[in-house]
Chain A
Amino acid sequence: MNIFVLLRLAPDTVEELEIGGDGKSLDADILRFKPNDPDEHAVEEAVLLKEKHGGTVTVAALETPEVDDILYTALAKGADRAVKLTGDLGAAQSEAAARLLAGFLKAGGPALAPDTLILLRSQSIDDLEGEVGPYLAEALGLPYACVVTQVAPAGGAVKVTREFSGGLRGEFTLPLPAVLGIQSAEKPPRYVPIAKVRAAMKTARIETVDAGAVEQPARVGVERMYKPEAAGRAVMIEGAPEEVADKVVELLSKNSVI
């Protein structure tokens, strides 16, 4: 199998997020980035597929600060090739990023090898417009499935399990090549000890590919970005026990829990 995994760092929400001076974006000075949790599942799934079916795993990412770390980590986990797309990328949002990645994937010719599987996160915490996955599938003209929790390639097609809600799942078949948005890998992502990452840094090489410049289709104009009011201590619900129970029912119904 020819497996690609597309990676991206996400802002770390453990850190305080601050709004920048323009009031429309995050303060980039304070922002720290971390590997996307779902990305780690995508890498894990790719490595598991390779272990089961053979082939190569290529991890690719648009160049951003610290992106080398996640590429090396993926190599340490068992990826074979790491590629960094460079160029005048700006802060490529999902759709633009998808076009750049599509350009890279099609570099070897317009038709992808028939055993190609492209994996990426199904969701990411920093997605305003939507996801890179569907845009990418659209740009490549490939079938797409998201919220995927199981992947089983067999003879020119791939059988996937998608999660709906409340434990209900569905099985789909997609012809290859295909793009899959991974929700969780078959097994939890493996831990890769620091020593292995360091070894990968010494022995492996990250290829760089010039992705050129990209125009940003700016369809959504953010007017204002702000933090929700800090949730301090709990709002106390008071009254006689019966009253309290009534108020809770009301609250639950307002929040569509019931």
Chain B
Amino acid sequence: MAKPILMLAEQVRGQLSDISFEMLGLGRRLADALGAPLSALVLGSEGAPLAARLGLADKALTAEDPRLNMAPPGTMADALRQVIEKEQAGLVLIGATNVCMGVGSILSARTGLPFVNNVRQAQAEEGAVRLTSQMYGGKILADVRLGGACGIAGIYPGAFPADAGRSDKAPPVEAAGVTVTAPKETFERYIEPETGDVDITKEKVLVAVGRGIQTQDNVGMAEELAAALGGAVCASRPVIDQGWLPLSRQVGKSGMNVKPRLYLALGISGAPEHWEGMQGSQCIIAVNTDAKAPIFDGAHYGIVGDALEFIPLLTDRLKARRG
């Protein structure tokens, strides 16, 4: 039997982040393929209720210590090291997120385990794991083989489906028995996102509307869709010029440069000035009535159709899914 797989669940303010489920789904798949047990580790106070939601793990471990709330990477790495030793874990999954940034490298330095970051694909093969890591902003992929399935993998957010990690079961939960050395870095407090207008450069999901949206009233429809997606609305310049949205929502050469995970371009032709501001988006889905619109040359997915018809259909489905 292969060595156990350990995943570090990520929590922010008592909530498990999506990445936790993305990693859990992946961990489950690898564990089954390798015939290894899967453990999940939740750090920080009040970990038990969170651990209970990680049903796909064979067991969930908690380390309920307030000093582990938003702990600095060194402290997290230290806790992980202890658990790895105790559990004899081979493969360790960590989120390649802002919250856990730095944990992988410090852990690697302390344990001598190889660390592969920004993993987008993972496959188990004969007692080993092959990881595909994204480099240079996604322009290059590198395959790395972790022999004996031992090593640390930083999992790229959004690369694996979170749904695959959700389950109604509750795993057996036990205390990990970690000794926490007081971190030199102290977490003081959360700073809430500033209220006021949204900063579209920081949004993960953007619903972008162009002249194809036709009237100001229809912008409201887009707002609704954005809310259902947990994102914000932005626009091409002509829409801003109309005064339908504030200048801070303009994407493009003379507006903002955005790189969201999803850019939903509704009724936008894809002029170079607009393209300049959103080309870095991870996934661009364009809806346009004109099959020859230049936006389709660069988008990842395209839909030839009426945005005004598409918006409510999608909104309804998203709402139905949630509620």
Q: Which residues of A approach B to under 8 Å, CB–CB?
A: 11, 13, 17, 19, 26, 94-95, 122-123, 125-131, 133-135, 137-139, 142-147, 159, 161-175, 181, 219-228, 231, 233-238, 241-242, 244-246, 248-249, 251-258
Contact = CB atoms under 8 A, between A and B. Distances in A.
A166 B72 contact: no
Contact of B301 (A26, A220, A235): A235
Q: Is the interface of A mostly helix, strand, loop or mixed?
A: mixed
A222 B142 contact: yes
A226 B190 CA distance: 41
B39 to A, nearest CB: 22
A184 to B, nearest CB: 11
A237 B303 contact: yes
Given A224-B143, A227-B141, A236-B302, A170 B189 contact: yes
Nearest to A232: B297
B22 A256 contact: yes
Given A168-B192, A241-B310, A251-B285, 17 more contacts: A13-B139, A17-B136, A122-B101, A123-B101, A125-B135, A127-B117, A133-B102, A137-B74, A143-B184, A167-B193, A168-B191, A174-B186, A223-B143, A234-B286, A234-B296, A249-B318, A255-B261
Given A168-B190, A168-B192, A256-B161, A11 B184 contact: no
Interface of B: 12-13, 17-18, 22, 70, 72-74, 97-99, 101-106, 108-110, 112-117, 130, 133, 135-145, 151, 154, 157-163, 183-194, 199, 202, 204-205, 229-230, 261-262, 283-286, 295-306, 309-310, 313-314, 316-318, 321
B112 to A, nearest CB: 7
Nearest to B202: A167
A254 B286 CA distance: 18
Contacts of B161: 253-256
A173 B115 contact: no
Contacts of A219: 108, 112-115
Given A241-B305, A249-B321, A255 B299 contact: no
22 contacts: A127-B117, A129-B117, A131-B101, A131-B105, A134-B105, A146-B73, A147-B101, A164-B12, A167-B192, A167-B199, A170-B70, A171-B191, A172-B185, A223-B143, A224-B142, A226-B142, A227-B140, A228-B140, A236-B302, A241-B310, A248-B303, A258-B229
Contacts, number: 254
A222 B135 CA distance: 12
B279 to A, nearest CB: 11
B139 A227 contact: yes
A125 B138 CA distance: 9
B102 A144 contact: yes
Nearest to B106: A134
B302 A244 contact: no
A225 B142 contact: yes
B102 A181 contact: yes
A228 B159 CA distance: 14
A144 B318 CA distance: 41
Nearest to B205: A257
Nearest to B162: A256
Contact of A161 (B99, B137, B191, B230): B191
A257 B261 contact: yes
Contacts of A134: 73-74, 102-103, 105-106, 109
